Amino acid sequence: MEAVILAAGKGTRMRTELPKVLHAALGKPVLGYVLDTLAEVGVKRIFAVVGYKAGLVKCFLKKYNVRPLLQSEQKGTGHAVIVAKAALKGAKGPVLVWPGDMPLVKAETLKKFMAAHEKCGSHASVLSAVAGCPKGYGRIVREGGKFTAIREELDATEEERLISEINTGIYLFDPKALFKALGKIGSDNKKGEYYLTDTIEVLREEGYGVEAFPFACGDEGLGVNSQKDLAVASEKISLREIEKHMERGVTFVAPAQTFVAPGVRIGAGTVINPWCWIETDVAIGGNCKIGPFAKIRAGTTIGNMTEIGSFVEVNRSSVGKRVCAKHLAYLGDAVVGDDVNIGAGAVTANFDGKNKHVTKVGNGVLIGSNTVLVAPVSVPPRVKTGAGAVVTRKTRMKKGDVVVGVPARPVSQKRG
Ligand code: UD1
Ligand code: CA
């Protein structure tokens, strides 16, 4: 099976210069959700139609095994698929078409859709959804229950606008029938565009089988067309992830006030307090306490029974077990051992203006309030730093030392 992702449009309704599909929901571009779901389903031959700011979109696509195809002028979704004609020349199996601005469709829904398409043997199947508010979407027109056409909102009659079954924009086509139908569509509509949706009527009139499967449920049918849609999508994605974590024994005090990206692991017994921001590629152990107001960024691991409290940011760091960083701290590029206490206001100064450097903190260390750890620096086990100490790589410390001052120096244990 081959897939064509439509990602050439500007996204005028976003009111920004950034291509719509590159707008991020919880740190990941909308297009990334589509591509990750395709990978989950196991689709390997993927083409993406790019156009508006194609360079930017192509740059993002480098992370994926996707071939970009250029649509120099954006003349509509039908025209976008025509661009893929040469690339799909040898295609035998069905061609999946997916607009790059539909990030919420789940892999399991797609699999169900693919199975139904195969079983019914139609030449074109549409994944539809029954929407509470169908406004703005193409409507699935049925006659006596039989799917006959897709009508765009702008071109629909009053009566058609009452239809609540909408087109997700995701289709499975027999390639031959698809390109034959695309050769016959026109642009005689309100937008003056070549609509992919018009292929349905063409195919039906020519005696091909067309079907619509209303398998997209709940929020899956949401497209990102405006900033408001993007905000709703982010919220839905986060809540989906939170629900999965809750099923595995994680407590969320206020799910709607917490943001968790996909690709996060959290152990059972951990409590996530409100107003936390947890990025992808984060692993949090069990029985931890997080937040309120904690920011845990990509590439971070946190051990069991650790507490990351209010206004603490942890970035690309590994934090051990039973660590306590309760208030106002920044840990960036840090490797923190077990049983460490990070005092209020302590920060790792990890950036020298050019490069990021690592801070190592040994087991049992007590970092005093307002300590600055100027990276690269390594704090041996059980060291204590005084309030306001500025610890640099020049600070000579051995296990159990107490260091104070600016720059920090060891205090004789005898003098206390
Ligand atoms: C489209 C469908 C509509 C459906 C909705 C659901 C058509 C005519 N309408 O409407 O029935 O309910 O999606 O998501 O297809 N694009 C290109 N090149 C173009 C035009 C668009 O690549 O020339 C891309 C856009 O970047 C976008 C996708 O195709 O990712 C869909 O285009 P968009 O303008 O958002 O279509 P809708 O109006 O949402
Ligand atoms: Ca859209």
Ligand closest to Cα of 47 equals 1
Arithmetic mean of pLDDT, 56-82? 97
Contacts of 231 (CB under 8 A, 6+ apart): none
Q: Which residues are catalytic?
A: 327
CB of 318 within 6 A of ligand 1: the answer is no
The CA–CA distances, whole Å, from 286 to 203, 247, 262, 270, 351 equal 55, 14, 18, 5, 31
The whole-chain average pLDDT of the chain stands at 97
In a mutational test of the pocket of ligand 1, which residue from 6, 13, 33, 77 has the highest number of ligand atoms less than 8 Å from its CB? Answer: 77
Evaluate if residue 416 carries a pLDDT over 50. no
* Atom nearest to 6 CA in ligand 1: 22
Using 50, 70 and 90 to split pLDDT, how confident is the model at 202?
Answer: very high
pLDDT of 342 = 98
Give pLDDT tens digits for 209-249.
Answer: 999 999 999 999 999 999 999 999 999 999 999 999 999 99
Residue with CA closest to ligand 1 atom 1: 169
pLDDT of 240 = 97
pLDDT of 78 = 98
Evaluate if residue 159 carries a pLDDT over 60. yes
CB of 122 within 6 A of ligand 1: the answer is no
Ligand closest to Cα of 230 equals 2
Task: Name the fold adopted by 2-221.
Answer: Spore Coat Polysaccharide Biosynthesis Protein SpsA; Chain A (3.90.550)
CB of 199 within 6 A of ligand 1: the answer is no
CB of 224 within 6 A of ligand 1: the answer is no
Give pLDDT tens digits for 30-68.
Answer: 999 999 999 999 999 999 999 999 999 999 999 999 999
Percent helix, strand and coil across the chain, each to the nearest 5: 25, 30, 45
CB of 229 within 6 A of ligand 1: the answer is no
Contacts of 125 (CB under 8 A, 6+ apart): 113, 116, 117, 171, 172, 210, 211, 212, 213
Ligand closest to Cα of 220 equals 1
Q: How far away, in angstroms, is 101 Cα from ligand 2 center? A: 6
- Domain map (residue ranges) of the chain: 2-221, 227-411
Q: For residue 27, give the nearest of 255, 299, 217, 254 by alpha carbon.
A: 299
CB of 49 within 6 A of ligand 1: the answer is yes
Cα 221 from Cα 183, distance rounded (Å): 28
CB of 385 within 6 A of ligand 1: the answer is no
* Atom nearest to 138 CA in ligand 1: 11
Cα 79 from Cα 76, distance rounded (Å): 5
pLDDT of 413 = 52
pLDDT of 346 = 98
Give pLDDT tens digits for 326-378.
Answer: 999 999 999 999 999 999 999 999 999 999 999 999 999 999 999 999 999 99
Using 50, 70 and 90 to split pLDDT, how confident is the model at 382?
Answer: very high
The arrangement of secondary structure in 227-411, i.e. its CATH architecture, is 3 Solenoid (2.160)
Q: How far away, in angstroms, is 131 Cα from ligand 2 center? A: 15
Cα 361 from Cα 367, distance rounded (Å): 9
**Does the pTM exceed 0.85?**
yes
Residue with CA closest to ligand 1 atom 22: 8
Q: Cα 256 to chain center, whole Å?
A: 17
Q: Cα 172 to chain center, whole Å?
A: 24
- Per the CB < 8 A criterion, the answer to whether 286 and 267 are in contact is yes
Long-range contacts of 228-233 (CB under 8 A, 24+ apart): 230/14, 230/23, 230/25, 230/30, 233/25, 233/30, 233/103, 233/104
